[in-house]
Amino acid sequence: MKTTELAIVGAGPAGVCAALEAASYGVKVTLIDRDDEIGGQLVKQTHKFFGWHEKSAGTRGIVISRNLAGSVEENASICFMGSTEALGYYKDDGVLLLETPQGIEKLKSGRLLIATGACEKMILFPGNDLPGVYGAGAVQTLMNVHGVKPGDSVLMIGSGNIGLIVSYQLVQAGVKLAALVEALPGIGGYAVHASKIRRLGIPIFTGYSIKEAYGTDCVEGAIIWQLDDNWQGIAGTEKDLNVDVVCLATGLTPLCEFLWQAGAGMAYVPALGGFVPLYDENMKTTVDGIYVAGDVAGIEEASTAMAEGRLAGLAIANSLGKVSAGEFLEKRRVSLEELEQLRAGPTGKAIVEGLAGLRGQMGKRVSV
């Protein structure tokens, strides 16, 4: 059976930064991604980042992704297996099962980093399976990767950063934004994105949700309505919108299948997107040798995913005896400080509280 010092599932911002950090200490890394390209969701992010981190602030996601891919290709210690999907983790043998373009094979690794990211959350309304109902990620992929307009007129559900950014990009692509609705009383995303939406004159309805999408073979329109204090629609407040696309930007949830399979301790933390793994300040889960970084450890920003990846890569190299104690402690201190900075501010508050809750549950495991 093939073996490697460190296997990383997911070549998004977290997985790639971990690979580069671990490889810088001489760790042999196998980096696995179902896509043939390195970068994960960054490849569709055409907007500029404005994170705290000096390396990524002011840079477009797609440029960050190209730079990371270049660094991986130049690095002889990293083997990138593209178009390869991890199918499962068998904890008794410590084996990953991989579906490569040439067939299925097994891989055993000394350390395993799960950096699988997240998937989009769906919501329930009549007509939610009509063609024309998209997740915001799919709309971004269509427009920014394939250059395809998803439709002519869009109802955007959700005003978090993804909803705001995708709304802006739709308008840039010449698509009409009929309305942006948000169930909460206020806009969820950063003010800098929200003000762009306001300047474009896009109608924003806070305290509203979708009542239904309708159409014979695809979306021909959608009805929104106002919500009461119990999240129930108020009859008489309906507005009928002439749209052919309903775009759902209603949140993400971590992709934790391999962590459940590994028997890792898990906790349900709504502020982090759902079930998340318990992990310590080395990004290590409750299972020896298995680490996490990025959205799989709780939904946050790409900048945070990159910082977590660097921390996990450092900790893994240290666990393999490749970092001197002094250097490890100093670099980890800097990394943890960086994460704290990234989570400063009102948006980060719920995440910090969620993480504190996670630490509090380290003793009480949920597993199946």
Partner 1 sequence: MAKEEHDIIVCRCEDVTLGEIRKAIREGATTLDEVKRITRAGMGPCQGRTCRLLVAGEIARYLGKPVSEILQSRYRPPVKPVKMGDLSVISEEGENSGCKCREEVTGQ
- Binding residues (CB under 8 A) for partner 1: these are 1-6, 28, 30, 79, 81, 84-90, 97-111, 119, 121-122, 124-129, 212, 253, 255, 257-258, 260-261, 267-268, 274-275, 289, 320, 366, 368
User: How many C-beta atoms lie closer than 10 Å to residue 80's C-beta?
Assistant: 21
Which residues, at least 6 apart from 70, have a Cβ–Cβ distance to it below 8 Å?
none
Residue 303: strand, helix, or coil = helix
Residues 299, 253: contact at Cβ < 8 Å?
yes
Considering the complex, state which of residue 190 and residue 260 has its C-beta at the smaller distance from partner 1. 260
Considering the complex, state which of residue 181 and residue 202 has its C-beta at the smaller distance from partner 1. 181
Helix (H), strand (E) at residue 319: helix 302-319
Taking only Cα atoms into account, the Rg of the chain, rounded to an integer number of angstroms, comes to 21
Considering the complex, state which of residue 190 and residue 214 has its C-beta at the smaller distance from partner 1. 214
State how far the alpha carbon of 234 is from the alpha carbons of 59, 124, 158, 185, 197, in Å.
Answer: 43, 17, 19, 15, 26
Burial 103-116 (b: 16+ CB within 10 A, else e): eeeebebbbbbbbb
Question: Distance between CA atoms of 10 and 314, rounded to whole angstroms?
Answer: 17
Considering the complex, state which of residue 42 and residue 252 has its C-beta at the smaller distance from partner 1. 252
Considering the complex, state which of residue 33 and residue 338 has its C-beta at the smaller distance from partner 1. 33
Q: Minimal distance in Å, beta carbon 153 to partner 1?
A: 22
Residues 18, 10: contact at Cβ < 8 Å?
no
Considering the complex, state which of residue 204 and residue 213 has its C-beta at the smaller distance from partner 1. 213
Q: Minimal distance in Å, beta carbon 176 to partner 1?
A: 26
Q: Minimal distance in Å, beta carbon 268 to partner 1?
A: 4
The distance in angstroms from the start CA to the end CA of the chain is 28
Q: Which of 281, 306, 285, 278 is nearest to 294 (CA)?
A: 306
Q: Minimal distance in Å, beta carbon 272 to partner 1?
A: 12
Question: Distance between CA atoms of 322 and 311, rounded to whole angstroms?
Answer: 14
Q: Minimal distance in Å, beta carbon 94 to partner 1?
A: 9
Considering the complex, state which of residue 22 and residue 197 has its C-beta at the smaller distance from partner 1. 22
Question: Distance between CA atoms of 202 and 336, rounded to whole angstroms?
Answer: 39
Q: Minimal distance in Å, beta carbon 259 to partner 1?
A: 9
Considering the complex, state which of residue 194 and residue 314 has its C-beta at the smaller distance from partner 1. 314
